[in-house]
Amino acid sequence: MWDVLVLLGAPGSGKGTTAGDLAEVRPDWIHLSTGDMLRDAIKSGSPVGLEAKQCMDQGQLVPDEVVMKIVSEYMEAGPTDAVYLFDGFPRTDAQAQLLDEFLESSGKGHVSHVFLLEVPEEVLVDRIAGRLICRDCGKVFHRTNMPPTKESMCDDCSGDIYQRPDDNRETVLNRLKVFHNQTASLIDYYGAKKILHRVDCLYRDRALDAILTIMGPKS
Ligand code: AMP
């Protein structure tokens, strides 16, 4: 069976970083980031990538059906027994419903935990506008809070460090608006199902510890 865990939060709340930290402690969980999958699709020049690029460059969401198709194809090609850690999906009520329908119709599992990563709004913009990412291993740096030791070079793998094209101040503000208008309602959606857990994500270790405590020891 599949057990689906969801990291929910505004852009800059630390979904990717927390997923990366969790991957070190729980390598048995499969990390699925729709943002990364869409960026890969853009890089490969696929039709999905071409459609996604326009939306992403403007900080808008990619259509629900497009994202659901990528996720379902990925899961169907993977193991039948797995814990999936979703980062950045679902992002709308419609996506959450499509996901529930997909899981129900396949009879293969359900969403068991949703972690809402909470960070004060004023911290979010600064986090994203200063964010730098390694092109090769995906490690995340910050221009001022956590700069790489050598400029433009990843401390871990010596890969090239870059700023995501949608991580500029103007697009960030738009992405925050999109979060409030289209994603925040998921707090009620999953709250009503009693599977929502609020996690303080201002400090990295605290968020990690909180999630691991809620999930309990490795069986
Ligand atoms: P992220 O890497 O999660 O910050 O996502 C970057 C961008 O990819 C978003 O601003 C959206 O344009 C697109 N994206 C990622 N995940 C989704 C999703 N679940 N639904 C729609 N668009 C998405």
CA separation, residue 137 to residues 14, 140, 159, 202 (Å)? 17, 9, 7, 24
Residues 19 and 37 in one domain: yes
Q: Which two tokens stand for residue 70?
A: 């990528």
In a domain, 126, yes or no: no
The pLDDT score that the predictor gives to residue 153 is 96
- Who contacts 152 (Cβ-Cβ below 8 Å, separation ≥6)? 160, 161
CA-closest residue to ligand 1 atom 15: 35
* Residue range 111-148, pLDDT digits in tens: 999 999 999 988 999 999 999 999 999 888 999 989 99
Indicate if the pLDDT at residue 169 is higher than 90. no
48-87: burial string, b at 16+ Cβ within 10 Å, e else: bbebbbebbeebbbbebebbbebbeeebeeeeeebbbbbb
Residues 92 and 135 in one domain: no
Note down the domain range covering 91: 2-121+171-215
Residues 185 and 206 in one domain: yes
Residues with CB under 6 A from ligand 1: 11, 34-35, 38, 55-56, 59-62, 67, 88-89, 91, 95, 166, 175
Which are the catalytic amino acids?
15, 91, 131, 164, 175
- Cα radius of gyration (the chain): 17
39 CA distance to ligand 1 centroid (A)? 9
* Residue range 14-33, pLDDT digits in tens: 999 999 999 999 999 999 99
Residues 156 and 138 in one domain: yes
User: Which residues are registered as beta bridge partners of 141?
Assistant: 132
* Residue range 81-105, pLDDT digits in tens: 999 999 999 999 999 999 999 999 9
* pTM across the whole model: 0.91
